[in-house]
């Protein structure tokens, strides 16, 4: 079974803090993705990575950065958390190929106060 795990299910941080969200997959997938999900907006892509040390901006990269030092791990970093980054964050991974589905982690619900 493909497994994508995320470091926390719930996280509460203060404005201005640096926040790390970790994602690990165990199926040797090339591609990894970070989305945020907000009511009425669906899933919006923040960043993705198709190889170690490679990253591509998604639709809403502002205020975020990412790191992929190992194939199985993809980290999302909020350099200085703000209240408008309160959201559900979903990590996903997939094989390369148009017909492969993305496997999702359970999500991290981040609240910034």
Q: How far apart are CA 35 and CA 5, in angstroms?
A: 14
Q: Is the dihedral of CA 36, 41, 47, 48 positive or negative?
A: positive
Question: How near is the Cβ of 77 to other proteins at its closest, in Å?
Answer: 19
Contact residues for other proteins (CB under 8 A)? 30-31, 33, 35, 40-45, 48, 50, 58, 88, 90, 92, 94-104, 106-107
Nearer to other proteins, 15 or 65 (CB): 65
Question: How near is the Cβ of 45 to other proteins at its closest, in Å?
Answer: 5
Question: How near is the Cβ of 62 to other proteins at its closest, in Å?
Answer: 17
Nearer to other proteins, 5 or 15 (CB): 5
Nearer to other proteins, 89 or 112 (CB): 89
């Amino acid at each position: 079974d493909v497994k994508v795990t995320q470091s926390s299910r719930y996280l509460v941080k203060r404005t201005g803090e640096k926040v790390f969200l970790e994602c690990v997959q165990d199926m040797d997938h090339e591609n990894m993705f970070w989305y945020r999900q907000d009511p009425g907006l669906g899933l919006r892509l923040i960043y993705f990575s198709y190889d170690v040390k490679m990253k591509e901006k998604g639709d809403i990269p502002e205020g975020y950065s990412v790191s992929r030092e190992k194939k199985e791990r993809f980290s999302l970093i909020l350099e200085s958390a703000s209240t408008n980054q309160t959201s559900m964050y979903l990590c996903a991974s997939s094989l390369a190929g148009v017909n492969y589905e993305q496997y999702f982690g359970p999500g991290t619900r981040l609240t910034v106060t």
